[in-house]
Structure 1
């Protein structure tokens, strides 16, 4: 039965909100906060930057929220507006009131957010679970997407091993500081969460999400992707086999670009942002709408 995401109790929500508010102080550029009504509930959006280039929309990873992008937002919004979303049905300031009943609902949700923002087309950037949500928009509403960048899209183009899934489940069940830090060290070597980020991630475990999990796209679905796509992996990632994904995309969607960075894993965005963001922005600028006219 479809679910509506919620915290397990009011005390959990209050604890999460306090840490969220404290973490807002790490956002390094001016921003405007918006609460956008949609069919699935109110979506919280943080808007930064200015300019006439095609905007960027950011979709965060599992257990995170829009503030995850604070480490890279300054470079993303130098020449354009960037909208960072709190995904509906996940912890954050978005409030889900109706269930996500199918994968196309993610495209409907983003469509409605963009309509209320008065934005026609965007570059969509998703990280980890957010990459799954981003590719669903590219599949079901390609007319809204100038390009899509998928950072560490586990389970989208290949199947993660059962060992990886079990390790993550066990850590989620124990929920001690030690087990959570060990999971992060294994999952994202080279990137250590700050104290506020760690506390927020721990509080997020008290949220019961109202959305499903990524699944591996069928060959025909991959071949049907019509928007320019960049896929970024860390070579040491445990959520996918980057070489296998690159080979599959070369066969099914040769126009897609795949970048694999050596010496890093799933925490690539925090570990080597000085390499990831220039690659991402080169791709984005190559596909700005003004250049396509």
Structure 2
């Protein structure tokens, strides 16, 4: 059993593995929950793979049909076609083909970190996102902190399990991460699918103001990746419909796995609301 499968084996629910073909390549999806449940798409953070939702899937999949997707532009079991995914529009187009492959017209979507940027790009470009949960989203409302970028560079540029473990220990303040998942991420065991990361760029304020999907913004109070106050203030300024939740003890990389008990009730409550939520005062 390889590192990816070792984490998926920890999922406390029955998992169906899907491989969806499109012009962008092959997309791996882990599906769970009742087939007749309303669709909920989960998009992981950079390098985390869809396996990262092991702590959340039991509660999320009780009534929803959960689809945890390996991003086509990141590590995981998805296999992109060479040169097919280069821009934000490509990423959004890929997301649309995933929904097509699942037989879903519109879906609720939750994304963490880089996956939150992908989810936001899909909402801006495709209008196929009904409700959108952004979990400590990067490069959506504020830039990454220089200190975070500086600390991550040795691991990103040179790789190596020791560098990745050291970086994650710094960002999480030494908090415990799941050992199997940590091994997967630190060894970059799923980084050999030749995926090219599409460098994220913040959407314009005009695009964000035009967004018609209600947004739940979940922030880690101890996140080192950005200034969470700046993220919150800008999101509240530009989004038409937004609710903000702060998890005081969460760091960027302990989300979502280490905070499922806190996080999941907010997600379930938000996605259960089919009527528009209150507009945030400007």
Compute the TM-score of the two structures, normalised by the length of structure 2. 0.89
Residue in 2 aligned with 1:137? 122
1:171 aligns with 2:160: no
* 1:1-293 correspondence runs (5 A): 18-50=2-34, 52-98=36-82, 99-142=84-127, 144-173=128-157, 175-189=159-173, 191-204=175-188, 207=192, 209-266=195-252, 267-287=254-274
Once residues 6 and 179 of structure 2 are traced to their aligned partners in structure 1, the CA distance between those partners, rounded to angstroms, is 11
CA contact (8 A) 1:155 1:239 kept: no
How much does 1:42 deviate?
0.6
How much does 1:177 deviate?
4.2
Query: How many equivalent residue pairs?
Result: 272
CA contact (8 A) 1:75 1:277 kept: yes
Compute the TM-score of the two structures, normalised by the length of structure 1. 0.86
CA contact (8 A) 2:25 2:79 kept: yes
Once residues 186 and 225 of structure 1 are traced to their aligned partners in structure 2, the CA distance between those partners, rounded to angstroms, is 35
CA contact (8 A) 2:52 2:257 kept: no
Once residues 53 and 20 of structure 1 are traced to their aligned partners in structure 2, the CA distance between those partners, rounded to angstroms, is 26
Deviates more, 1:183-192 or 1:155-164: 183-192
Query: Is there any run of 5+ residues in structure 1 with no aligned partner, and where?
Result: 1-16
Q: Please give the secondary structure, in 2, of the residue aligned with 1:250.
A: helix
Once residues 95 and 249 of structure 1 are traced to their aligned partners in structure 2, the CA distance between those partners, rounded to angstroms, is 33
Once residues 251 and 202 of structure 1 are traced to their aligned partners in structure 2, the CA distance between those partners, rounded to angstroms, is 37
How much does 1:181 deviate?
2.3
Q: Please give the secondary structure, in 1, of the residue aligned with 2:187.
A: helix
Once residues 156 and 130 of structure 2 are traced to their aligned partners in structure 1, the CA distance between those partners, rounded to angstroms, is 36
CA contact (8 A) 1:51 1:79 kept: no
Query: Is there any run of 5+ residues in structure 2 with no aligned partner, and where?
Result: 277-282
Encode CA deviations 1:111-145: one digit per residue, 9 max, x unaligned. 11111211121111111110010000000111x21
Encode CA deviations 1:19-61: one digit per residue, 9 max, x unaligned. 2222221111012111100111010111100164421001111
How much does 1:191 deviate?
4.2
CA contact (8 A) 1:60 1:126 kept: yes
Residue in 2 aligned with 1:5? none
RMSD (Å), alpha carbons: 2.1
Once residues 138 and 235 of structure 1 are traced to their aligned partners in structure 2, the CA distance between those partners, rounded to angstroms, is 26
